[in-house]
Amino acid sequence: ELLRSYNEGHSMSFYCKACTRMPINLINQAIKEAKKKIVSEKIDNSDMKLKAKIFKSTIKDITVKSNIN
């Protein structure tokens, strides 16, 4: 789901690194939070670039809060 929904073509290595460092529950939390934000901001489902930007920002926020490098 992550790559299918949030990979705009430039994020795969970022996602791979994030997934190796984050517990699965935090990855799922990031997906859930990103989906909420995408819906609340009425982002078009086909706008992969903006969806990826939101998801990357969500991952970064969660890793900072969770003290993950």
Mean pLDDT across 57-61: 95
pLDDT reported for residue 5: 80
Chain-wide mean pLDDT for the chain?
A: 90
pLDDT at 24 over 90: yes
pLDDT at 53 over 80: yes
Q: ∠16-7-26 over CA atoms, to 5°?
A: 50
Residues 6 and 55: beta-carbon distance below 8 Å: yes
pLDDT reported for residue 63: 94
pTM listed for this prediction: 0.84
In what helix (H) or strand (E) does residue 5 lie, and over which residues does it extend?
Answer: helix 2-6
> Per the structure block, which two tokens stand in for 46?
């086909």
pLDDT reported for residue 4: 75
